Structure 1
Amino acid sequence: MGLDTIVKNGLIVTESGVLPAGQSIGVSKGKISVIGYDLPEGPETKIIDAEGAYITPGGVDSHVHLSQRNAPTGDSWETGTRSAIAGGTTTVLAFTSQTKEMTTLFPVLEEYHGKARGQAYCDYGFHFIITKPNEKILKEELPRIAKEEGITSVKLYMTYELYKLSDHELLDTLLACRALGMTTMIHAENGDMIQFLVKGLERNGNTAPFFHAIAGPKIAEDEASYRAIRLAELVDAPILLVHVSADGAMKHIRDAQTKLLPVHAETCPHYLFLLSDKLANQEHDHFHGAKGVCSPPLRHNVEDLEALWRGIANGTFTVFSSDHAPTKYDHPQGKKAGIINGIPKFSKIPKGIPGIETRLSLLFSESEGCLPKNQARLSLARFVQLTSGNPARLYGLTQKGCILPGYDADLVIWHPQGKGGRVISQDNLHHDVDYTPFEGIHVRNWPRYTILRGEIVWNADQNGITGPKGVGNFIKRENGRLLVGKLGQLPEGMVEGERDFWLPKSDI
């Protein structure tokens, strides 16, 4: 059979569950060739012994920010992807961003390729942030971006003055992406509400980091999420609402899914494990809470965490991503840019926190891979769906996210049960940021080996990266698949054929 590698003595986890024990994974030329019993070993076949541990697909983190222009102290492609594989992630999707003055997408795309090329420790792809959807971009450039460049997803903002689109611009872009089969991600917060609250807080002298959580209340996410869903429903377009942090937004998503609307949802580790008291932390200095500033902000109550955990378990959330958007803390261009003339100004603190390396372990620790069924928050199959299979399908990564013959041999081998637990510490992480918001949290397991296309690139026994910089490939993606709901439905009150009166003739 000519197998290059055999991974044996493990419990193979798929999206359907754990396969019967005793099966091995045979790898040839970076691909999974066969799964079965008693695979033939050749004289040069490399054997990887899982020692009874679970084997899951390599993680797909579909929401990371690397080498971003607006985060000069954040992770580069080298340090961010190094951190990814140390945490079991073998594919990342990051953002190249149009700014308002750009009338074309291709120069910034080539610039971003230049930042990533030859630097990545894992495979990668891009999303495009669209901030000025003129007719040339929507009609001429997006089709080329999708077909020629293999970038089949965009992200749109409903907040931040430098990024946000009007409802009309959102509709135009949703319609264009629907016609191309592209996945549309939406950051749903009501920017005007937030700016109104920021102004009032600053007027009253409430500018410490904690007030970032007051300036972005759940109602701002609730309203914008509902509006995004209704806009998408009007033009019959699928959407993904990113980094959902609150039960109100989750309820709108669940209601839409119940009506079979194609509304996908993402949440992140910080919304499952952290609360807004993180922003009030003055452990080391009065500004320490800036380490927890992200957007949407951390919520106030344990009940908010529990609501999102229910969404993890019951299928409301399609993907679980890190939203790794770090800036250094102790740096004048990092979080401390929020200190103006010695006074903390939460509105000036760069938003975002690191999490690319800790994402998988935090979730796996709460799964049946580490806890009895009656205590676990999710099954192993659900873990694989959220962290690998669903993001691969949603974003057109046709060779990723599954342990099946023909797929890339991207694997995570965990420690045998009862071993591999650790306390998350900045001292043990591989990013280029000077803190982790998850400092001190105990996880019950950590990836022992990360395998990228058949090669071990992380070995926890050596606490080291074993794969070379530059081994990561840029992946041209196909169109993603709908994982929730279906197209072709009419909003309540519309009659059959009503859209035909106003849709562009090419879309009818």
Structure 2
Amino acid sequence: MLDTIIKNGLIVTESGVLPEGQSIGISDGKISVIGYDIPEGLGTEVIDAQGAYITPGGVDSHVHLAQRNAPTGDNWEAGTRSAVAGGTTTVLAFASQTKEMTSLFPVLEDYHEKSRGQTYCDYGFHFVLTNPNESILRDELPILAKEEGITSVKLYMTYELYKLSDRQLLETMLACRSLGLTTMIHAENGDMIDFLIQGLERNENTAPFFHAIAGPKIAEDEASYRAIRLAELVDAPVLLVHVSSDGAMKHIRDAQTRLLPIHAETCPHYLFLLSEKLANEEHDHFHGAKGICSPPLRHHPEDLEALWRGIANDTFTVFSSDHAPTKYDHPQGKKAGIINGIPRFSKIPKGIPGIETRLSLLFSESEGCLPKDQARLSLARFVQLTAGNPARLYGLTAKGAILPGYDADLVIWHPKNEGERVISQTALHHSVDYTPFEGMPVKNWPRLTILRGEIVWNADENRVTGVKGFGKFIKRSTGRVLVGKLGGLPAGMNEGERDLWKPKS
């Protein structure tokens, strides 16, 4: 007995679009069957996809919700409401340790308390490690992975309150490698950036645009190369997050060519926006603060094109939003960067909203909306980047694919030529007061978002139809290495050398 049948759609998988005429049968929140002429039962709900594409529900593996350092940002309710309205059915957000914390268990309980019963979509946590002491690496991470299903950590190479030394990076990579945890790295050279900030401020160059000058591509390129070399030393798979530069991408591509397990992520703002946005004075001298994020937006159209090549040629493993918003018109939001009436870019909270617009922006550049010779990516690649790869990389075993046995998390798009819209803050569902993509046209938008068989967004009714609290916490398994392989040796290292210095298990 099926609860729901979705018919008249074009089902998209990582292998391509399935032959026309097949339907999806759903029961108990799971996909039960895919095939032709699926029989209806008494009370089976039938959803007509009207000839539109059906893709897996989006998995956004890099979002910031209810963060201590963003008091005006999205909480779990607003962020996940915005997610489902944009076709995302699972998010992974960050439970952040601070330097003085010597245990992760209080961090976990605090973040559970903030999210419990608040979400419109399914969710999980990454840990941000800022004080990876021996007890955490040896005793706590194994328990948290096995019992709590938190199987990923994020490490920083910049920001005084977050950054780790190279020694700490090595020790943490090695511990995570032994447990099968996914290690994410924010790769920017913090000393370079601090040096440039001091020089810019000394010369009174403090307007929002100078944020792009303070974080040049070379700072990301150097740190990315260093992170890859550190990971190579200890034979650890890593993911470099929010990659924004062609130089960093080249280091990643070179490593992947040598079969190193180096994964990469990029985000919508690095494909669509340039640093000129930070100089926008359309409304006032501070308006460019709406585009401040890290790494910063880059200067030239060629920078965007380079990253689009990384989308097309498989350099990038995942495509995430890095949704890290704060309100613009608020003294604790972006306007915290106005000190005594003077804009100071270094005090402006970093991060921009993007959880709701992520899928539509990328789908608009795919073969789902454009002729094959004009599209920047195939539909199969779209599914891989936005659902399949993040699900596998982060151990979401029931997510990211349209297959029997998987959660019935689906996006039904509009039929061709019916889903066009212009992105507008007034139509979005987050709690912040702007979108950096204001006025940008997209060629399609999710018509229906389905989470575990339930319609949670209905564009026909122009409303979120899901309820707060329907989303559930997902305990994850260990992730998979999707790029390269383990076991390689750096140049000049003999077989067995690692055994001479690795900790005994």
Equivalent residue, structure 2, for 1:33: 32
Equivalent residue, structure 1, for 2:269: 270
Equivalent residue, structure 2, for 1:417: 416
Equivalences for residues 42-53 of structure 1 within 5 A: 42-53=41-52
Asked if 1:408 is matched to 2:422, the reply is no
Equivalences for residues 332-411 of structure 1 within 5 A: 332-411=331-410
Equivalent residue, structure 1, for 2:153: 154
Asked if 1:257 is matched to 2:256, the reply is yes
Give me the whole-angstrom Cα distance separating, in 1, the residues matched to 2:106 and 2:223: 31
Give me the whole-angstrom Cα distance separating, in 1, the residues matched to 2:16 and 2:138: 43
Give me the whole-angstrom Cα distance separating, in 2, the residues matched to 1:499 and 1:60: 36
Give me the whole-angstrom Cα distance separating, in 2, the residues matched to 1:17 and 1:418: 21
Equivalent residue, structure 2, for 1:319: 318
Give me the whole-angstrom Cα distance separating, in 1, the residues matched to 2:165 and 2:433: 37
Q: Give the secondary structure class of the aligned counterpart of 1:248.
A: helix
Q: Give the secondary structure class of the aligned counterpart of 1:205.
A: coil
Letter of the 1:291 partner, please give it.
K
Equivalent residue, structure 2, for 1:207: 206
Give me the whole-angstrom Cα distance separating, in 1, the residues matched to 2:357 and 2:474: 24
Give me the whole-angstrom Cα distance separating, in 2, the residues matched to 1:374 and 1:448: 26
Give me the whole-angstrom Cα distance separating, in 1, the residues matched to 2:422 and 2:170: 46
Give me the whole-angstrom Cα distance separating, in 2, the residues matched to 1:10 and 1:352: 37
What is the CA-CA distance between 1:402 and the residue it aligns to? 0.2
Give me the whole-angstrom Cα distance separating, in 2, the residues matched to 1:43 and 1:148: 41
Equivalent residue, structure 2, for 1:460: 459
Letter of the 1:251 partner, please give it.
K
Equivalent residue, structure 2, for 1:503: 502
Letter of the 1:110 partner, please give it.
E
1:72-102 deviation per Cα after TM superposition (whole angstroms, max 9, x unaligned): 0000100000000000000000000000000
Letter of the 1:15 partner, please give it.
E
Q: Give the secondary structure class of the aligned counterpart of 1:104.
A: coil
What is the CA-CA distance between 1:243 and the residue it aligns to? 0.1
Equivalent residue, structure 2, for 1:426: 425
Provide the TM-score with structure 2 as the length reference.
1.00
What is the CA-CA distance between 1:500 and the residue it aligns to? 1.1
Letter of the 1:19 partner, please give it.
L
1:22-54 deviation per Cα after TM superposition (whole angstroms, max 9, x unaligned): 000000000000000000101110000000000
Give me the whole-angstrom Cα distance separating, in 2, the residues matched to 1:430 and 1:45: 31
Letter of the 1:80 partner, please give it.
G
Equivalent residue, structure 1, for 2:55: 56
Equivalent residue, structure 2, for 1:164: 163
Equivalent residue, structure 1, for 2:19: 20
Give me the whole-angstrom Cα distance separating, in 2, the residues matched to 1:51 and 1:213: 45
Equivalences for residues 118-137 of structure 1 within 5 A: 118-137=117-136
Give me the whole-angstrom Cα distance separating, in 2, the residues matched to 1:472 and 1:494: 48
Give me the whole-angstrom Cα distance separating, in 2, the residues matched to 1:3 and 1:427: 38
What is the CA-CA distance between 1:452 and the residue it aligns to? 0.3
What is the CA-CA distance between 1:108 and the residue it aligns to? 1.4
Give me the whole-angstrom Cα distance separating, in 2, the residues matched to 1:7 and 1:50: 7
Give me the whole-angstrom Cα distance separating, in 2, the residues matched to 1:145 and 1:297: 33
Equivalences for residues 189-204 of structure 1 within 5 A: 189-204=188-203
Give me the whole-angstrom Cα distance separating, in 2, the residues matched to 1:83 and 1:133: 33
Give me the whole-angstrom Cα distance separating, in 2, the residues matched to 1:437 and 1:144: 40
Asked if 1:105 is matched to 2:104, the reply is yes
Provide the TM-score with structure 1 as the length reference.
0.99
Give me the whole-angstrom Cα distance separating, in 2, the residues matched to 1:220 and 1:502: 31
State the aligned residue count: 505
Q: Give the secondary structure class of the aligned counterpart of 2:468.
A: coil
Asked if 1:241 is matched to 2:240, the reply is yes
Equivalent residue, structure 2, for 1:70: 69
Give me the whole-angstrom Cα distance separating, in 2, the residues matched to 1:48 and 1:77: 29
Give me the whole-angstrom Cα distance separating, in 1, the residues matched to 2:208 and 2:280: 9
Give me the whole-angstrom Cα distance separating, in 2, the residues matched to 1:8 and 1:197: 57
Unaligned runs of 5+ in 2: none
What is the CA-CA distance between 1:505 and the residue it aligns to? 1.5
What is the CA-CA distance between 1:374 and the residue it aligns to? 0.2
What is the CA-CA distance between 1:491 and the residue it aligns to? 0.2
1:313-371 deviation per Cα after TM superposition (whole angstroms, max 9, x unaligned): 11000000000000000000000000000000000000000000000000000000000
Equivalent residue, structure 2, for 1:225: 224
Give me the whole-angstrom Cα distance separating, in 1, the residues matched to 2:326 and 2:467: 25
What is the CA-CA distance between 1:501 and the residue it aligns to? 1.0
Give me the whole-angstrom Cα distance separating, in 2, the residues matched to 1:400 and 1:102: 33
1:281-325 deviation per Cα after TM superposition (whole angstroms, max 9, x unaligned): 001000000000000000000000000000001100000000000
Equivalent residue, structure 2, for 1:186: 185
Give me the whole-angstrom Cα distance separating, in 1, the residues matched to 2:147 and 2:127: 14
Give me the whole-angstrom Cα distance separating, in 2, the residues matched to 1:93 and 1:116: 12
Give me the whole-angstrom Cα distance separating, in 1, the residues matched to 2:19 and 2:453: 22
What is the CA-CA distance between 1:144 and the residue it aligns to? 0.8
1:386-425 deviation per Cα after TM superposition (whole angstroms, max 9, x unaligned): 0000000000000000000000000000000111100000
Runs of 4+ in 1 over 3 A off after TM superposition: none
Letter of the 1:289 partner, please give it.
G
Q: Give the secondary structure class of the aligned counterpart of 1:370.
A: coil
Q: Give the secondary structure class of the aligned counterpart of 2:148.
A: coil
Equivalent residue, structure 2, for 1:471: 470
Unaligned runs of 5+ in 1: none
Equivalent residue, structure 1, for 2:282: 283
Q: Give the secondary structure class of the aligned counterpart of 2:295.
A: coil
Give me the whole-angstrom Cα distance separating, in 2, the residues matched to 1:381 and 1:108: 38
Give me the whole-angstrom Cα distance separating, in 1, the residues matched to 2:79 and 2:141: 27
Q: Give the secondary structure class of the aligned counterpart of 2:32.
A: strand
Give me the whole-angstrom Cα distance separating, in 2, the residues matched to 1:343 and 1:392: 44
Q: Give the secondary structure class of the aligned counterpart of 2:265.
A: strand
Give me the whole-angstrom Cα distance separating, in 1, the residues matched to 2:277 and 2:335: 16
Letter of the 1:37 partner, please give it.
Y
Q: Give the secondary structure class of the aligned counterpart of 2:6.
A: strand
